[in-house]
Amino acid sequence: METISAKLISWASILDEKTRAQALATSTLPFIYPHLALMPDAHLGKGATVGSVIPTLHAIIPAAVGVDIGCGMIAVRTQYAVQDLPRDRKRLREDIEKAIPLSAGHNNRTIKATAEPRIAELRKLAAKAGFNPAQYVEKWELQLGSLGSGNHFIEVSADETGAVWLFLHSGSRGIGNKIAQHHIGVARHVTQKRGTRLPDPDLAYLEEGTSEFNRYLAELRWAQHFALLNREEMMDRVIEQFSRWLGGHVTERERINCHHNFTRQETHYGKSVWVSRKGAIKAEHGDPGLIPGSMGTASYVVEGLGNPASLNSSPHGAGREYSRNAARKAFTLAELKTAMRGIEFRASDAFIDEIPAAYKPIDQVMHDAADLVKVRHKLHQLINVKGD
């Protein structure tokens, strides 16, 4: 841990100057309390740093939550071991790719039976919150149970004992993005009207007690729940395909579902604050959590240690070292194939920017997080599914 300033504490041993400067700028906002915490996977983000924990008094910065509201991980530990699996892993990958819409803009064509009760739950929640999600995306229901693109993935992995895990990463899809972008715009408008000077326009904030704040919070909470149910829906479909592939029922030994782009009200250092975790998971003492590496490196199942200086938080993944554009210029498909040797995946130029070398070494990130979480399991991929 490094104390960069009175308002900025960092656990990142790998931290470029632009990211450091961005975090320092955010930490100067007068309503940050007690300090901003940078996680080991910290890297440059829109307005606020990805991999940061931002506690605010009586205000929320929508861009500090991120545009993929509620993005996170879900994992299920099955009763199967690696030796139980068929050799033809390509078939399962292709079956998962058919069962779940992949890539940006790709949604379900119809509402699946498994999704109906979840959509009904979301409709009730939206009505209670006093808004209609269709004002953002007309057919938002068709997005439930879809993956998206970028660093989102579905994986079959094995832990150090050989136990097989099903693992995926996704968020609130297009509907969450539209909600986030709208309220980032509202925050900019009210901040400009207020005449407040900021180090970055994307650090525009909404003040607690205002109608704009209340509207954002209601829709934010809805989008966070959409993201959680989206992961549940996809995991159920993955389990179905996995069961068919094996010809046997899946017994869930454990299921973990956690956000890493979200806001919630918590008490820290004697005060009630809004804690925005942008690329960070909640890691109170005993909290189960999931920290993925890149598409070709290890992922971790962890347990929170409740470190108060980190505001009970931990990293959410490896964190990028190369921007997507820089990675596409620096690496080749041949290098990606080499990095993914032994893992069943769809080899495509579209995934070059997701090559493991574009990310911080996950083992270094976990070393930096040693006082934030305890490692329960280390997972290695057998199958990787991504959207392009």
On whether the CB atoms of residues 45 and 145 are closer than 8 A, the answer is no
On whether the CB atoms of residues 54 and 276 are closer than 8 A, the answer is yes
Which amino acid would we find at residue 234?
M
The dihedrals phi and psi of 307, each to the nearest 5 degrees, come to -75, 115
Whole-angstrom CA distances from 125 to 122, 215, 224, 232, 266 are 5, 14, 11, 17, 22
Collect all residues with Cβ–Cβ distance below 8 Å to 232 and sequence separation of at least 6: 74, 118, 257
Number of H helices, E strands in the chain: 9, 17
**Residues of 230-259 as b/e, b for ≥16 C-beta within 10 angstroms?**
bbbbbbebbbebbeebbeeebeeeeebbbb
> How far is 195 from 388, CA to CA, in rounded Å?
42
Q: At what angle do helices 89-99 and 211-246 cross, to 10 degrees?
A: 140
What is the number of other CB atoms lying within 10 angstroms of the CB of residue 90? 12
Which amino acid would we find at residue 259?
H
Q: Is the dihedral angle over the CA atoms 131, 136, 137, 143 positive or is it negative?
A: negative
Question: Strand 36-43 and strand 8-10: pairing?
Answer: parallel
On whether the CB atoms of residues 289 and 281 are closer than 8 A, the answer is yes
Instruction: List, by residue number, the catalytic residues.
Output: 316
Residue 302 exposure: Cα atoms within 13 Å on the Cβ side: 32
